[in-house]
Amino acid sequence: MYFLPLFYVTVFQTLSATPKRLKFMHILFVCTGNTCRSPLAESIARQMVLDRQLSGIEVKSAGTHAASNSPASDGSLLVALEQGLDVSTHRAQQLTPELVQWADVILTMGSSHLAETSALGGQGKSYLLTDFSSRGQDNRNISDPFGSDLPVYRETFVELVHEIGNAFDRLVSEHQHRSV
């Protein structure tokens, strides 16, 4: 008799699982220029939606001081590519009242971004990413790699993967509790 290693069993169970449907949800990630952290966060979140077989989730990103139509930074492009993600078509967009209204959940990289989303009407649905993902146990800013070398971008990427994974865990958990 042949037994699959636990890793393969887990992957098979994950891949064969029925997709989890959250109510249609719009998630907006916000940083300063929308060229480093938030495009990475958007790309990571989109991949997690696919990997976790979640449906009904749309993800965007914006910046509080974005130069519209700027591409993702070189560091973000390279780190994303290393991880099998593509941000080459990303174009920065300025945070607007319309984007804030569109979003059901707004996850910001820093406390200044949180203040700006709230000022644009995002009270009650805007959170510091670390605060949301830790359920109030951590309220630090996500490190900003802007102008740094590639290892700093890699550290920020790892930080984002961890925090966004925890944020999705929370969203799924809260949805399941409301559905019961």
Three-state secondary structure call for residue 137: coil
Catalytic residues: 31, 37, 144
Cα→Cα distances 155→24, 120, 159, Å:
31, 31, 6
- H or E segment to which residue 84 belongs: none
- H or E segment to which residue 23 belongs: strand 20-31
* Gap between the Cα atoms of 101 and 112, Å rounded: 19
